[in-house]
Amino acid sequence: MSEVFVKLFSGKGTNELAERISKSYGQALGQCSSQRFSDGELSFSYNESVRGCDVFLIQSTTPPTDNIMELLLMIDAAKRASAKYVTVVIPYFGYARQDRKDRPRVAIAAKLMANLISAAGASRIMTMDLHAGQIQGFFDIPVDHLDGTAIFVPYIRSLNLQNLIFASPDVGGSARARAFAKHFGAEIVICDKHRKRANEIASMQVIGDVEGKDVVLVDDLADTAGTISKAANLIKEKGANSVRAICTHAILSGKAYENIEASELEELIVADTIPLKKESSKIKVLTVAELFAQAINNVHNYGSISSLFINN
């Protein structure tokens, strides 16, 4: 039986992280080309053979939507070039916030994304810290859902915070905060918020005692950073000693950087699943390259993915 070779390719949306993953894996990225017609239409091709190979395509589906279209073209091109397996590595899975019908006549964009990726010909999905874990069920192909605690917990532990307590910026994220608290034997508090519309908070209150505590807010992403900034300010008003935040995916759109700089946050700890638009003294970036490289190796060699979780 002939050996199945691994080939890694990167889309334009996550090229820096893809370079780090390939370096950690010990193999250079494959050669490919993405071109654009005068009207903006994308064209994609591989510059080397992928026939019979185990192909891993690395691309976060961040805005603009060209990144999604490029990923779909990458999958289709790999299938048509006779790749044996096509694993789509999506460090940040976009449109995940639209995962249900929370009001009449709306699209469930996360399910649509899953349909598009599956229809394009992906054999497997690898991602990290989905907005809601049940999105895995939108796919009819295997999903490897990596856990950001593997990189964030060691960093928080290195800070040696004396009165550590974890907080969720909303009721829906309490399970995520509780997962972190479990590693430290710590308690959690919840910031109950009410929105008038997307990206606009009408009111917020803290449920729990934070006085004299070193608080770490936990969320899956930071978009305008309005929620995390308001929560940090409110927690500080309630007598907290310090406030930090962990947000895996740093979307950071609109006035996000201004909100972070003006907030009581000592630091915002993020992963490099999305490249930062600019540097900030308050933003600490941790790389997930080694974690994804190990996951790619384990998938190729039929190893365990759960072995990469910090619980193990």
Q: Do domains 6-147+289-308 and 149-286 have the same CATH topology?
A: yes
Q: Are 17 and 47 in contact (CB under 8 A)?
A: no
Q: Which of 240, 64, 259 is nearest to 164 (CA)?
A: 240
The CATH classification of domain 149-286, taken from the options 3.40.50.2020, 3.40.50.10860, 3.40.50.1580, 3.20.20.150: 3.40.50.2020
Query: Which segments of the chain does DSSP mark as H helices, in order?
Result: 15-25, 66-80, 109-120, 149-158, 174-184, 226-237, 256-262, 289-300
Long-range (24+ apart) CB contacts under 8 A made by 276-284 are 276/250, 276/252, 277/252, 283/250, 284/155
- Domain boundaries of the chain, sorted by first residue: 6-147+289-308, 149-286
pLDDT higher at 170 or 284: 284
User: 164-194 burial, b for 16+ CB within 10 Å, e for fewer?
Assistant: bbbbbbbeebbebbbbbbebeebbbbbbebe
Q: How far is CA 246 from CA 50, 88, 197, 232, in A?
A: 38, 25, 24, 12
**Would you say residue 200 has pLDDT above 60?**
no
Q: What is the pLDDT of residues 220-236, one digit of tens each?
A: 999 999 989 999 999 99
Predicted local confidence at residue 38, as pLDDT: 94
DSSP of 23-85, one letter per residue?
HHHTSPPPPEEEEE-TTS-EEEEESS--TT-EEEEE---PSSTHHHHHHHHHHHHHHHTT-SE
Q: What is the pLDDT of residues 232-290, one digit of tens each?
A: 999 999 999 999 999 999 999 999 999 999 999 999 999 999 999 999 999 999 999 99
Predicted local confidence at residue 173, as pLDDT: 85
Q: Is 6-147+289-308 a CATH 3.40.50.2020 domain? A: yes
Query: Is residue 3 very low, low, confident or very high in pLDDT (cuts 50, 70, 90)?
Result: confident
Q: How many CB atoms lie within 10 A of CB 216?
A: 25
- pTM of full prediction above 0.85: yes
Predicted local confidence at residue 93, as pLDDT: 96
The Cα 203–Cα 49 span in angstroms is 56
For residue 80, count CB atoms less than 10 angstroms from its CB and return exposed for 0-12, middle for 13-18, buried for 19 or more: exposed
DSSP one-letter code for 213 = -
The Cα 172–Cα 152 span in angstroms is 20
Q: What is the pLDDT of residues 104-135, one digit of tens each?
A: 999 999 999 999 999 999 999 999 999 998 99
Backbone Cα Rg of the chain: 20
* Per-chain mean pLDDT for the chain: 93
Q: Looking at the annotation, which residues are catalytic?
A: 193
Query: Is residue 291 very low, low, confident or very high in pLDDT (cuts 50, 70, 90)?
Result: very high
